[in-house]
Amino acid sequence: MAQSTLFRRYLIFILSLLVNGLGVSIVTLAALGTTPISSAWYEISLHVPLTFGMVTMLGNLILIISQYFLLEDKKDKKALFSLVSQIPATLLFSVAIDLNMWLLSPLLSEVTFYPLRLVMLLVGSLILALGVSFEVKANVALVAGEAFVKAVCLFLKKEFGLIKICFDVSLVLLAVIVGLLCTNFTEVASVREGTLIGALLVGPCVRVISHHLGFLDNFFKEGTKTLAPQTAGDFYPVITISREYGCGGRILGHMLAEQLKLKFYDSEIISLIAKETGFSEEYISRNENRLDNALLYEMILQDYSAPLEKSLSKADALYVASAKVIRHLASENPCVIVGRGADDLLKDNPLCLKVRLFAPYEKRLERCLQTYHLSKEKAQKAIELFDKRRAEHYAHYANANINDPHRYDIVLNTGEFSLEECATIIAALFEEKLAHRAQSLNTINPSQA
C-alpha cells in the first residue's frame, strides 16, 4: 500500500477512535447501561478511584499483554509490531472516553426523563455505528478487544464469531458480578436494557452507514499513482458474465475463452475457495449463494467492528474468500469469470468487460429441458430458486439490483440471439475495449508506446 494511502487510512482510523469514544460516552451517560464490550470497564470504574477511560486503558493493556502469550512465534516482528501498535490506539480511545465524559456529564447526567434518556441512547448508538463504520473503512488495524479475540481464535483454531460472542458475554457477566458484589446484590449500572438495545441497533446501522462512505475510497486513492495495467500487481483483461438461470452463461463463457484464448473460471473457483476457507467443495457448492439466516446475524450476532472475513456468518466468510480468489485470478492472467458477483468485485478494473445475460422465461425453460436435461418441474424450480438466490446475494453484498442494466457494459438477450452470435458480439466489444484502453494509455504516456 502506498505511503500516502496508508497515511490517509490511519487518519480515518484515528477519527474512528475519537468518534467511538464520543458514542460510548453518550450511551453511558444515558444511564440505561453501556455497550457490551465496555460494560466490565465501566462497572469497575464505578467502584474504584479510577475514571472510565483509565479502567478501559488498563483492561485493554491486559488484553494486549495476554496476546503475547498466545503467539506461536514470540519473535515474529510483524506480530509484535501489531501488539505494540494497539497501545496508542487504546490510549487515544480511552482519552476520548474520559474527555467526552468530562465535557458532557454536566449537561447529560442531569437528564432524568426516561424518553430523553432513551433518545440519548439512540443518538449515542448511531454515533458509535458511525465510528465503527470509519474503522472498518480504514481497514488498517484492530482495536485491542478484537485483536485479543483474533489471537484466541488462532490459538484455539476456532471460528472468530464463536469466540467473539463468548468474549462479549464474559465481559457482560464480569460486569454483572462486579456490580452485584460491590453493591450487596442491589444494582448493576452497566448492564441494562440499553445494553441490549445498543447491541441490536449498532450492527444494522453500521451496514447502512458503510454504504454511504464510498467517498472515502476516493480520499484514500488521492495522491497515489495509477500504474499501467500490464505492470505487476494490476489487473489483466477480464470478461465477467452475470446471467439469469437458463441463459447459457457457462456455455457462452467457454466459447469466449476458446475464441479469445483466455482462461475460463466457473466451477473451478469452488476448489480455490475451499483452499481459502477450509470448507469442503460440497459445502461451498451448496451454500455459496445462500444467505438464509444472514439477517439474524446482521441484527443480533454479527460483529461489525471486526473485518468481514472474521464474521460469524459463514455466508460472509464464503463471500470474502470468493472475492479474494476472483481478484487474485484477475491479477494473474486474462480470463472469463462466470457469476459470483465478479462484475462488482472487479469494478475498479478498467480492463473488465461486464456482461449481463437475460432471456424470456419460456426460452430459459426450453434450454433447461433440452441442454441441461432437467425435467420440467425441476427446471421451473431451478429457475425460480437460483434467480432469487443470486438477486438476494447480489443485493446483500453489492448493495445493488442485479438486473440494473447500468451496472454492465453490455446486456444481451440470449433468447433473441444465439450463443454464437452473443460470443461474436462480446468478443468484438472486448477487443475494441482493449484497443481503446491501449490508445488512451499511449496518449497519456507516449514514452511507453
User: pLDDT tens, 258-311?
Assistant: 888 888 887 777 877 777 666 666 766 766 665 544 433 443 334 433 444 444
Residue 132, pLDDT > 90, answer no
426: domain CATH number is: 3.40.50.300
Q: Are 121 and 202 in contact (CB under 8 A)?
A: no
Q: How far is it, in rounded angstroms, from Cα 176 to Cα 189?
A: 9
Structure confidence by residue, pLDDT tens digits, 78-102: 888 888 989 999 999 999 999 999 9
Domain range for 373 is: 238-448
Q: Are residues 271 and 192 in the same domain?
A: no
| Same domain, residue pair 177 and 265 | no
| Dmax (CA) of the chain | 81
- CA distance linking residue 42 with residue 181, whole number of Å: 15
Residue that is last in its domain, among 158, 192, 221: 221
| Torsion sign across C-alpha atoms 130, 208, 316, 330 | negative
Q: Is 409 a member of any domain?
A: yes
CA distance 370 to 364: 10
Q: Specify the pLDDT at position 439.
A: 65
Identify the three-state secondary structure at position 242.
Answer: strand
Summarize pLDDT for 394-440 with one digit per residue, the tens: 887 777 888 898 989 899 998 888 989 999 999 998 888 787 766 65
pLDDT tens, position by position, 342-396: 888 888 888 889 999 999 999 889 889 888 888 888 888 888 888 888 888 888 7
Is there a single domain that holds both residue 272 and residue 346?
yes
**Residues 184 and 256 reside in one and the same domain:** no
Catalogue the E-assigned strands of 53-197: none
Residue 46: pLDDT band with limits 50, 70, 90: very high
Q: Is 449 helix (H, G, I), strand (E, B) or coil?
A: coil
Please answer whether residues 200 and 299 qualify as being in contact, where contact means their C-beta atoms are separated by less than 8 angstroms. Answer: yes
- pLDDT at residue 441 in the model: 53
Q: Identify which has the larger pLDDT, 201 or 122.
A: 122
| Average pLDDT for the chain | 82
Cα dihedral 186/189/192/195 (nearest 10) = -150
Residues 176 and 120 in one domain: yes
Note if the pTM is more than 0.85: no
Grid coordinates belonging to 173 = 457477566
Residues 270 and 211 in one domain: no
- Does some domain include residue 122? yes
> What share of the chain in percent tops pLDDT 90?
32
Residue written as cell 486474462? 334
Confidence class for position 153, pLDDT limits 50, 70, 90: confident
Judged against a pLDDT cut of 90, whether residue 68 lies above it is answered with yes
Query: CA-CA distance, 135 to 139, in Å (whole number)?
Result: 6
- The pLDDT value given to residue 316: 62
Report d(CA 353, CA 82) in Å as an integer: 39
Split into its structural domains, the chain has a count of: 2
Sequential DSSP letters for 206-264: HHHHHTT-THHHHHHHTTPPPPPTTSTTSPPPEEEEEE-TTS-HHHHHHHHHHHHT-EE
Q: In angstroms, rounded to a whole number, what is the distance separating the alpha carbons of residues 212 and 440?
A: 31
